[in-house]
């Protein structure tokens, strides 16, 4: 095999590898629309200690960012503990407005406290898999 042929084959292989790496980009992440769909499914279904949405969620927003930035945006200072997520993990922060009620269990026989409904809910999803990392409901 001549030197010219070897160089040509190596050049073609290098171009193929570069082309494969360039294709990766945003294709590794779920889309904004997929993130919103997942978050709406979560918001509509009852969660432990939180009702499903009592009204159709509105003002749904989604933004892709690092987990640490989502926590800052939510002013969430709690640590994620030993969870599998690095603070640099790319996530979708999906926020919405609606009406959710606390379903926190009360002691039997104790009067049920007055509840203020939650009007804002944020859901943080892993941007690669769509897995829920956390949810945060606020009045």
Quick check: is 8 in a domain?
A: no
The tokens 């010219």 sit on which residue? 4
Q: What is the pLDDT of residues 39-97, one digit of tens each?
A: 999 999 998 889 999 999 999 999 999 999 998 898 866 655 436 789 899 999 999 99
According to the model, what pLDDT value does residue 110 have? 78
Say how many Å lie between the first and final Cα of the chain, rounded.
74
What is the Cα–Cα distance from 35 to 70, expressed in whole angstroms?
A: 14
Q: How many CB atoms lie within 10 A of CB 36?
A: 19
Q: How many CB atoms lie within 10 A of CB 64?
A: 18
Quick check: is 5 in a domain?
A: no
- Residue 93 forms beta bridges with which residues? 63, 124
Q: What phi, psi does 112 have (nearest 5°)?
A: -75, 125
How far, in Å, are 14, 33, 43 from residue 48 at the CA level?
A: 52, 25, 12
Res. 103 pLDDT band, cuts 50 70 90 = confident
Quick check: is 56 in a domain?
A: yes
As a whole number, mean pLDDT of residues 102-124 equals 85
The tokens 């279904």 sit on which residue? 45
As a whole number, mean pLDDT of residues 109-114 equals 78
Number of domains in the chain: 1
- Is the pLDDT score of 129 beyond 90? yes
Quick check: is 4 in a domain?
A: no
- Is the pLDDT score of 112 beyond 80? no
**Cβ neighbours of residue 85 under 8 Å, at least 6 residues apart?**
67, 126, 133
Quick check: is 18 in a domain?
A: no
User: Chain centroid to CA 117: how far?
Assistant: 23
Quick check: is 76 in a domain?
A: yes
- Is the pLDDT score of 19 beyond 60? no
As a whole number, mean pLDDT of residues 108-133 equals 90
What is the Cα–Cα distance from 39 to 53, expressed in whole angstroms?
A: 12
User: DSSP secondary structure string, 68-94?
Assistant: HHHHHHTT-----TT-S--TT-EEEEE
Query: Which of residues 85 and 12 earns the better pLDDT score?
Result: 85
User: Whole-prediction pTM value?
Assistant: 0.75
Domain carrying residue 38: 28-105+113-138
Q: Are 120 and 53 in contact (CB under 8 A)?
A: no
Quick check: is 68 in a domain?
A: yes
Quick check: is 64 in a domain?
A: yes
What CATH number does residue 61 fall under? 3.10.450
According to the model, what pLDDT value does residue 48 have? 84
According to the model, what pLDDT value does residue 115 have? 82
């Amino acid at each position: 095999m001549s030197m010219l042929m070897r160089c040509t084959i190596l050049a073609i292989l290098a171009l193929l590898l570069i082309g494969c790496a360039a294709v990766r980009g945003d294709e590794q992440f779920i889309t904004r629309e997929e993130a919103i769909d997942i978050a709406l499914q979560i918001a509509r279904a009852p969660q432990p200690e939180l009702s499903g949405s009592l009204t159709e969620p509105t003002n749904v927003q989604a933004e892709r960012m690092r987990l640490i930035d989502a926590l800052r945006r939510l002013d969430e200072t709690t640590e994620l503990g030993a969870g599998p997520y690095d603070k640099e993990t790319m996530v979708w922060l999906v926020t919405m407005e609606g009406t959710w009620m606390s379903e926190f269990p009360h002691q039997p026989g104790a009067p049920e406290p007055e509840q203020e409904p939650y009007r804002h809910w944020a859901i943080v999803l892993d941007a690669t898999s769509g897995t829920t990392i956390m949810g945060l409901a606020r009045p």
